[in-house]
A and B are shown apart, each in its own frame.
Chain A
Amino acid sequence: MKYLERGYLEKDELPPFPSEERLKKRPVAYIECPQPIPCSPCFEACSVGAIKMDNINDPPEVDYEKCTGCMSCLRVCPGLAVFILRLREDGKGEVTLQYEFLPWLNKGDKVELLNRKGEVVGYGVVNWVLPPERNDQTSLVRVEMDASLIYDVRAVRKVRE
């Protein structure tokens, strides 16, 4: 459990990613929640049974074939551990994540892309937002970025104009 000495997951600790083929088909939930903790809202929110969890302390495991990318789990995750990933046909990638800071992000905003350690790894553009008032003050933000970045970008920060 080396990740508990750092506060972030290294490559070899990450759950397996969905295949490129799957990522291209439609959005898919990717959950970075390796530690057994008593928490199950994602499992309960999933209407297609794509999240496997034997008991409340079991870490979630996503069946990428069953997952429809509906974002039900993303809306409720208290650990901000769910990311919806997608590879678009035009070669761009998208990450949808929870966002709870001011100023709120809007469609078209340019953002800094942060990796798991908080390092800026690039820039992206917000192309869809679920406003905070629609989800008890947790906004959902979809960010367009270079395809290769979707495996690393886990937070965004608004670029000050």
Chain B
Amino acid sequence: MDGRLVDHPILKFERGKEVTIYFNGKPIKAYEGETVAAALYAAGVRIFSRSFRWHRPRGFFCAIGKCSACMMEVDGIPNVRTCKVYVRDGMQVRTQTGYPNAEKDIFALADKLIDRFYPHGSHYTKFTNPLIRDFVLSQLRKMTGFGKPPKAVYEGKAKHEEISCDILVVGGGPAGMSAAINAGKYGAKVLLVDENPFLGGQLVKQTHRFFGSAKHKAGTRGIRIAKILEEELQKIPNVMVLKETKVFGIYNGGKEVGAVQKDKLLRIKPKKIIIATGAYERTLVFENNDLPGVYGAGGVQTLMNVYGIYPGTRGLIVGSGNVGLILSYQLMQAGVKVAAVVEAMPRIGGYFVHAAKIRRLGIPIYVRHTVLRALGKNKVEGAVIAELDEKWNPIKGSEKKIDCDFICVAVGLSPAHELLYQAGCKMKFVPELGGLVPLRTIYNETSVTGIYAAGDVAGIEEATAAIMSGRIASIHATVALGYGGEEAKKELEEAVKDLQEFRAGPFGEKIVSGIAKCMLSS
């Protein structure tokens, strides 16, 4: 069945009704419930857009609406992230960069010819005269196209609604769901919003059994944890859930929040806010790292485990953290070959047991190695890896060609911190926590009273810790609002202790030292 998985040891893919969408005028088969990007990928489309200046081919990367490489014109609306839009029968999808389209782009010559005289990035140094520079850049931008604005003027009536609540939780992943449950159970009026049409965040693609203690659902698969949390949420009548709702701004020190629910504008008036927006994937610098076929590890998980689509036939995994190791195992479960895992550090970054379970299936793990370049013209057709010396420089003569048709970059995540930053929370760049994170108390309250951060947005960890930190933030907020009494206060201290114990091992050391750098006294 084209590029789609049918049988899987863990997952059952229940596809919706078959529909037809049109890609640059060409009919493409899709199933309801698939995103446009997923359906295009299943149909073999690899070039989703062209780069702004040099018209290099760009493909799929993150699959969760963060990277913008998949922006196209959908039903006349430009700049739509196709990984966030679901297919509908008769939908018209067009690439908006390149002429006549992204796949066959005559301006791609720019990459080959102009590059010889003006190497990438040289427009910053060559065109030193501001007048010439502005002219050249504006012409280059015109050539790339940012989509054409729709001709029709919107004539509908924009709806808006005002909602008040005790606690607003932004983000319905493990941290957000845990926060909503724990605040809801003590009687607080909770509003949980998420931009996706489903809850669970990135749990929906975690087919492996979780680590941690049984109390925190260890031994249970991530996909089931998402369901268990959602069922718990549904049992609490004072928790309202709004899906497909994006929060775009926090105003008046957290007194007012702006959000969009499909075509409706929401003005939310919360007493406390818990931000649990998660994180996004990082990329890595190497030659041709923008070639279609170089994907984020999480993007591949989404494609494969959520939509049941083969990412390729043979992958190279860059990074041996838990994400890279787990992804390798998941690829094998889907019947996709894994060429190797490369790791720049002198040792495996993730849990040993995750490494052992792919190693015993014959997947080589190369530590002190890096990817030098991706090979291929319009998509990945191989890669070159090399060993690194003590100073992290590639050792001459150690280059090795790897046969693969996609490369997964699993080099870590960065917190999706924008809302916290915009709300005026004091931020700090803490490498141990993955990037820009808010200063916070031990109860996860930021420098803006009443605004909390929970889960990966407060520092990159994993889902179990996210569930625990959501619990801490929400119970603290609930107690501050006068709910729960002594029982809640007791649970709060317990929750703080639980998380401390969880982080007490060597894997928690980095997190603990990172948090120490951004701690506010409570």
A35 and B219: CB pair below 8 A? no
A104 and B9: CB pair below 8 A? yes
Complex contacts, B212 vs chain A, CB 8 Å: 38-41, 56
- CA A39 to CA B224, docked complex, whole Å: 18
A155 and B360: CB pair below 8 A? yes
Asked if A8 is at the interface of the complex by the 8 Å CB criterion, the answer is yes
A76 and B219: CB pair below 8 A? yes
Task: Give the interface size class of chain A.
Answer: 35 or more
A16-24, A111-119, A143-151: which lies at the interface: A111-119
Given A1-B347, A7-B356, A7-B358, A40-B218 contact (CB < 8 Å): yes
Q: Which of A108-145 contact B (CB under 8 A)?
A: 114-119, 132, 136-138
Given A38-B502, A45-B214, A132-B9, A7-B333 contact (CB < 8 Å): no
- CA A76 to CA B219, docked complex, whole Å: 5
- CA A81 to CA B355, docked complex, whole Å: 11
- How close is B344's CB to chain A, nearest CB, in angstroms? 13
- CA A114 to CA B363, docked complex, whole Å: 12
Complex contacts, A70 vs chain B, CB 8 Å: none
A118 and B211: CB pair below 8 A? no
Complex contacts, B220 vs chain A, CB 8 Å: 136
Given A3-B352, A39-B212, A118-B359, A102-B505 contact (CB < 8 Å): no
Given A36-B506, A102-B9, A7-B214 contact (CB < 8 Å): no
Residue in A37, A41, A117, A137 whose beta carbon sits within 8 Å of that of B214 in the complex: A41
- How close is A85's CB to chain B, nearest CB, in angstroms? 16
B10 and A137: CB pair below 8 A? yes
B353 and A80: CB pair below 8 A? yes
B209 and A39: CB pair below 8 A? no
Asked if B367 is at the interface of the complex by the 8 Å CB criterion, the answer is yes
- How close is A149's CB to chain B, nearest CB, in angstroms? 14
B365 and A6: CB pair below 8 A? yes
A44 and B359: CB pair below 8 A? no
Asked if B348 is at the interface of the complex by the 8 Å CB criterion, the answer is yes
Instruction: For B368, give the chain A residue with the smallest CB separation.
Output: A5
Complex contacts, A79 vs chain B, CB 8 Å: 211, 351, 353-354, 356-357
Residue in A41, A100, A117 whose beta carbon sits within 8 Å of that of B359 in the complex: A117
Complex contacts, A57 vs chain B, CB 8 Å: 504-508
- How close is A37's CB to chain B, nearest CB, in angstroms? 5
Instruction: For A37, give the chain B residue with the smallest CB separation.
Output: B351
User: How many CB-defined contacts (below 8 Å) exist between A and B?
Assistant: 150
A100 and B10: CB pair below 8 A? yes
A41 and B219: CB pair below 8 A? yes
Instruction: For A58, give the chain B residue with the smallest CB separation.
Output: B505
- CA A154 to CA B355, docked complex, whole Å: 13
Complex contacts, A154 vs chain B, CB 8 Å: 356, 360
Asked if A50 is at the interface of the complex by the 8 Å CB criterion, the answer is no
Complex contacts, A36 vs chain B, CB 8 Å: 505-507
B505 and A38: CB pair below 8 A? yes
A44 and B211: CB pair below 8 A? no
Given A5-B347, A56-B213, A57-B504, A37-B353 contact (CB < 8 Å): yes
Given A40-B214, A78-B208, A102-B9, A7-B502 contact (CB < 8 Å): no
Instruction: For A118, give the chain B residue with the smallest CB separation.
Output: B362
Complex contacts, A100 vs chain B, CB 8 Å: 9-10, 333
- CA A83 to CA B367, docked complex, whole Å: 27
24 pairs, A vs B, C-beta closer than 8 Å: A1-B347, A4-B352, A4-B355, A7-B348, A32-B353, A32-B356, A35-B352, A35-B353, A38-B212, A44-B215, A55-B504, A57-B505, A76-B209, A76-B214, A77-B219, A78-B209, A78-B353, A79-B357, A81-B356, A101-B9, A102-B9, A119-B362, A137-B10, A155-B361
Chain B positions near chain A (C-beta within 8 angstroms)? 7-10, 208-215, 218-221, 224, 332-333, 335, 346-348, 351-363, 365, 367, 464, 501-508
Known: A39-B213, A114-B361. 9 other contacts (CB 8 A): A8-B359, A38-B212, A44-B214, A78-B211, A100-B10, A104-B9, A114-B362, A116-B360, A137-B9
Lowest 9 A-B CB distances belong to which pairs? A57-B505, A79-B353, A118-B362, A78-B209, A7-B359, A76-B219, A41-B219, A4-B347, A7-B355
